[in-house]
């Protein structure tokens, strides 16, 4: 790799931006990354990693000399031509995507031969509207498909890279494509609106798969079938595939809830009622709440009961609490009068301000002490390795709702637990994780 190439600019160092910056640096590029939050920039400049993401700290450390973190947009504009925009697009109160941060990046670009490469997830039509406002500013849509927890791996080994460029911007699209060529994934060249839709449709489809399998799980509970077996049998059909058929207590995170809602609103804004996505959202909301009913089935009223939540993050290997199922679940349990105690290996700091009245503990065993029930919310590997017999002895009542079908139900029953999964046959000893 040579230092001959032009530096790459990254705007916004949240999850996508930081991983993008670190991975491009790993590929040998000089990267100038800009964020408006001084504390974040200072921490990164000191060599600290601001998010919990496997492999990222090592990448940042290894490529420190190729990475510049700054709050100064001027420095970035002066040195970089390709500007990867990775600012967040949170939902507004109406459920639309908030594009104010994207708009302020566009406003900062004046003159020069810059290319705006949009990695932020934006509604279809955003590129067209930016091009209308800023004729002459080359625009490339390059949506990101990385998953938190495996983000570095996903970036380095993409299934596909989508590059949308409209007539006149093909050269800018070529420049972006060249950056991704060494990664080997299929490069999909298309127009901007289609690239924007590929991103939204992909997330909405994956969320639909999850809500679908969650409803199948709920039916399995009625008919005595096991959703793990059903998903395994379905997933072997190549037209269906095994991924994202893990039933549980609903999807969370910064992407699926936001993007499903944004796509629904985008359709609605143009007069189309996207019925299916309405159901996907509703199923997801109800799925988090079904745990309360499962606990009540065993405990009756939850008033005065102590419930331990194992895991708080929206999925393992991240400290991200955005739209985590634990937030709704904790509030619902408190609403029923229960005391909620919680443990998460990494997300406690992030969770502190979000879970009013929840008692945090430093280990799973401490959280389970004196509990009337436990709910496994996030499938952290350490929960599979827990000494469940010892755990059960510490609890007032060894009752576990496994919200991710993560544990070996037979082993748990063997250890004296009343065990409930999501859509798992009551007497099943089918090992978890048979469907990816
Ligand atoms: C998701 C997409 O998977 C990425 O492709 C995309 O780039 C990203 O959103 C984004 O738009 O930035 P992420 O939110 O990091 O990635 O995490 P996922 O692994 O997709 O999980 C999302 C949620 O679905 C989690 O709460 C997880 O527990 C849940 N899930 C996932 C299930 O309940 N069942 C499954 O089978 C899979």
**pLDDT > 70: percent of the chain:** 97
Name all residues whose Cβ lies below 6 A of ligand 1.
121, 144-148, 203, 206, 210, 244-246, 248, 251-253, 255-256, 259, 314-315
User: Where does the pLDDT of residue 3 fall: very low under 50, low under 70, confident under 90, or very high at 90 and above?
Assistant: very low
Question: Which of 97, 141, 206 for mutating ligand 1's site (highest number of atoms within 8 Å of CB)?
Answer: 206
Provide the pLDDT for residue 227: 98
How many Cα atoms within 13 Å fall on the side-chain side of residue 114?
28
Provide the pLDDT for residue 278: 97
**Ligand 1 centroid from CA 200, angstroms:** 13
**Ligand 1 centroid from CA 312, angstroms:** 15
Provide the pLDDT for residue 147: 93
Alpha helices (H) in 15-142, listed in sequence order: 15-26, 38-45, 56-62, 73-79, 100-108, 126-133
Provide the pLDDT for residue 433: 46
Q: Residue 45: is its pLDDT beyond 90?
A: yes
**Ligand 1 centroid from CA 71, angstroms:** 30
Provide the pLDDT for residue 97: 84
State the virtual CA torsion across 428, 431, 432, 436 in degrees, nearest 10.
Answer: -120
**pLDDT > 90: percent of the chain:** 90
pLDDT tens figures, 154-177: 999 999 999 999 999 999 999 999
Q: Do residues 186 and 159 make contact, with C-beta atoms less than 8 angstroms apart?
A: yes
More confident residue, 81 or 432: 81
Atom of ligand 1 nearest to the CA of 203: 2
User: Where does the pLDDT of residue 4 fall: very low under 50, low under 70, confident under 90, or very high at 90 and above?
Assistant: low
Q: Residue 413: is its pLDDT beyond 70?
A: yes
Q: Residue 386: is its pLDDT beyond 50?
A: yes
* Residue showing tokens 């995507």: 97
Q: Residue 330: is its pLDDT beyond 60?
A: yes
The span from the CA of 375 to the CA of 404, in Å, is: 9
**Ligand 1 centroid from CA 147, angstroms:** 6
The span from the CA of 297 to the CA of 290, in Å, is: 11
Which of 137, 133, 157 minimizes the C-alpha distance to 145? Answer: 157
Task: Write out the E strands in 61-156.
Answer: 67-70, 82-85, 115-118, 139-141
The tokens for 291 are 């745990």
Which residue has its alpha carbon closest to ligand 1 atom 2? 147
User: Where does the pLDDT of residue 436 fall: very low under 50, low under 70, confident under 90, or very high at 90 and above?
Assistant: very low
**Ligand 1 centroid from CA 251, angstroms:** 7
Provide the pLDDT for residue 427: 60
Q: Do residues 32 and 8 make contact, with C-beta atoms less than 8 angstroms apart?
A: yes
The span from the CA of 427 to the CA of 260, in Å, is: 36
Which residue has its alpha carbon closest to ligand 1 atom 5? 145
Mean pLDDT of the chain: 94
Grouping H, G, I as helix, E, B as strand and the rest as coil, residue 399 is: strand
Which residue has its alpha carbon closest to ligand 1 atom 35? 244
Question: Which of 56, 204, 210 for mutating ligand 1's site (highest number of atoms within 8 Å of CB)?
Answer: 210
Which residue has its alpha carbon closest to ligand 1 atom 18? 147
Which residue has its alpha carbon closest to ligand 1 atom 25? 251
**255 flagged as catalytic:** yes
Q: Residue 435: is its pLDDT beyond 50?
A: no
More confident residue, 208 or 136: 208
pLDDT tens figures, 80-100: 999 999 999 988 888 788 999
User: Where does the pLDDT of residue 112 fall: very low under 50, low under 70, confident under 90, or very high at 90 and above?
Assistant: confident
Provide the pLDDT for residue 429: 46
Beta strand 160-165 with 139-141 is: antiparallel
């Amino acid at each position: 790799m040579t230092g001959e190439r032009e530096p790459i600019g990254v705007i916004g160092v949240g999850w996508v931006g930081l991983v993008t910056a670190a991975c491009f640096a790993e590929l040998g590029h000089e990267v100038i990354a800009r964020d408006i939050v001084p504390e974040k920039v200072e921490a990164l400049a000191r060599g600290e990693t601001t998010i919990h993401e496997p492999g990222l700290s090592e990448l940042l450390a290894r490529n420190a000399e190729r990475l510049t973190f700054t709050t100064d947009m001027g420095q970035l504009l002066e040195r970089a031509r390709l500007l990867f925009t990775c600012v967040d697009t949170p939902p507004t109160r109406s459920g639309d995507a908030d594009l104010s941060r994207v708009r302020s990046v566009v406003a900062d670009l004046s003159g020069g031969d810059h290319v705006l490469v949009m990695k932020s997830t934006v509604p279809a039509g955003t590129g067209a509207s930016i091009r209308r406002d800023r004729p002459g500013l080359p625009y490339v849509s390059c949506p990101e498909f990385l998953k938190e927890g495996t983000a570095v791996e996903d970036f380095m080994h993409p299934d596909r890279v989508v590059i949308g460029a409209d007539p006149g911007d093909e050269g800018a699209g070529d420049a972006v494509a060249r950056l991704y060529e060494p990664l080997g994934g299929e490069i999909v060249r298309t127009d901007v609106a289609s690239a924007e839709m590929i991103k939204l449709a992909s997330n909405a489809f994956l969320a639909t798969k999850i809500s679908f399998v969650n409803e199948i799980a709920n039916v399995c509970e009625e008919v005595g079938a096991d959703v793990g077996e059903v998903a395994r049998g379905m997933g072997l059909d190549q037209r269906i595939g095994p991924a994202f058929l893990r039933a549980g207590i609903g999807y969370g995170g910064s992407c699926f809830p936001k993007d499903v809602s944004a796509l629904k609103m985008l359709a609605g804004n143009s007069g189309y009622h996207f019925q299916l996505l309405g159901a996907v959202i509703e199923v997801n909301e109800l799925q988090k709440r079904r745990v309360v009913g499962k606990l009540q089935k065993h405990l009756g009223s939850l008033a005065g009961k102590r419930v331990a939540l194992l895991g708080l993050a929206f999925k393992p290997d991240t400290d991200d609490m955005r739209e985590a199922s634990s937030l709704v679940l904790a509030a619902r349990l408190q609403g029923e009068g229960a005391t909620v105690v919680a443990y998460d290996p990494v997300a406690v700091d992030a969770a502190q301000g979000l879970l009013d009245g929840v008692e945090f503990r430093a280990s799973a065993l401490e959280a389970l002490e004196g509990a009337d029930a436990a709910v496994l919310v996030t499938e952290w590997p350490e929960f599979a390795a827990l000494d469940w017999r010892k755990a059960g002895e510490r609890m007032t009542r060894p009752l576990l709702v496994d919200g991710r079908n993560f544990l070996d139900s037979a082993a748990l029953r063997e250890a004296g637990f009343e065990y409930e999964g999501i859509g798992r046959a009551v007497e099943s000893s089918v090992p978890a994780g048979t469907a990816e």
